A = this chain, B = another copy of it.
Amino acid sequence: MSLLVVGSVAFDSIQTPQGHVDSILGGSSVYFSLAASFFAPVRLVGVVGEDFPAQYKQLLEDQSIDLAGLAEKPGKTFRWEGRYEGAMNEAQTLDVQLNVLGEFMPDVPDAFKDSPFAFLANSSPVTQLHVRGQLPDDTFVMADTMNLWIETEREALMELMASVDGIVLNDDEARQVSGEHNLLEAGRWICNRGPRWCVIKKAEHGAMLLGPGTVFALPGYPTASVYDPTGAGDSFAGGMLGKLAETGNVNAQSLSLALAYGTVVASFTIESFGSDRLCAIERQDIERRLAEFRNCIRLPQ
């Protein structure tokens, strides 16, 4: 089934203990789309400037990502510059240039509106609500958010929560929005605000799914090959919703399995700078690593 994503397209400049790169392809919708494209037809809505090269569009189209919703506006593409240190669990933002993303209010092309699954990548909840309003009620919609909106747009964020089927956010954000230190309590607090499902990402520590009668916990994929965590969260969401869209059913079982696919896809993303590794692998690499992951987490009888 088709999967819609609305999010950023960016040029990223990244420093990690392993090295640095300048102005490479990035952005939430890019990582999400590439990760999801292994499982389902992806439709991307976003905006770029006049400086966005044809080769990057080609790279996305080569993965069968539909770019009919990628607007090109006068000006420059969104730029992000960040640095990771130590255990690389958190990025330090060095510079942000919103450029064409600043004023962008996404319009979902009519041809995209029948997508059964949709992901509203991290952006202002006002923008996310604007997109949610363009989609049919029965679309399965998940949304991401971040600390900035929890602080500055809390009211719109609460409205968003009440209008989507799932929220994906990291552990610090779950604690911040709920005021609960305990992640189980934080997740329940969120589920009580509207979304049927809440997925809490814990970086190297894995992820947790909460829903009706459901608590599912997954450790992180044990990997020593961390080059660049940029895009890990969006790749996780892409792998998860991609697998869910492939399955077509939303329930505790399919979502739990989808979390594992998200974990595995994200484990590839962080093995190189940018999306290089994600573009180099095939579905069978994902399946092979999922089998390995199963071995690592299988509790003997």
Contact = CB atoms under 8 A, between A and B. Distances in A.
A278 interface: no
A94 interface: no
A297 interface: yes
User: Main secondary structure on chain A at its contact with chain B?
Assistant: mixed
A219 B222 contact: no
Contact of A215 (B182, B202, B204, B222): B222
Nearest to A220: B217
Contacts of A183: 204, 222
Contact of A223 (B87, B184, B205): B184
A194 interface: no
A297 B256 CA distance: 9
B297 A297 contact: yes
Interface string A257-301: 100100000000000000000000000000000000010111111
By Cβ-Cβ distance, the 7 closest A-B pairs, closest first, are A217-B219, A205-B205, A87-B181, A184-B224, A253-B300, A219-B219, A257-B300
A140 interface: no
Given A217-B219, A218-B219, A185 B224 contact: yes
Contact of A182 (B87, B202, B257): B87
A82 interface: no
A208 interface: yes
A49 interface: no
B222 A206 contact: no
23 contacts: A86-B181, A87-B175, A88-B181, A182-B223, A183-B222, A188-B224, A205-B205, A205-B206, A205-B219, A206-B206, A206-B217, A215-B222, A217-B219, A217-B296, A217-B297, A218-B219, A218-B297, A218-B299, A219-B219, A256-B300, A257-B300, A297-B299, A298-B299
A216 B181 contact: no
A226 interface: yes
B216 A296 contact: yes
A18 to B, nearest CB: 11
Interface in A210-258: 215-220, 222-224, 226, 253-254, 256-257
Nearest to A210: B222
A145 B220 CA distance: 25
A264 to B, nearest CB: 11
A263 B17 CA distance: 34
Given A216-B296, A256-B298, A260-B299, 13 more contacts: A87-B175, A183-B222, A185-B224, A205-B205, A205-B219, A215-B296, A217-B219, A217-B220, A217-B297, A219-B219, A257-B299, A257-B301, A297-B297
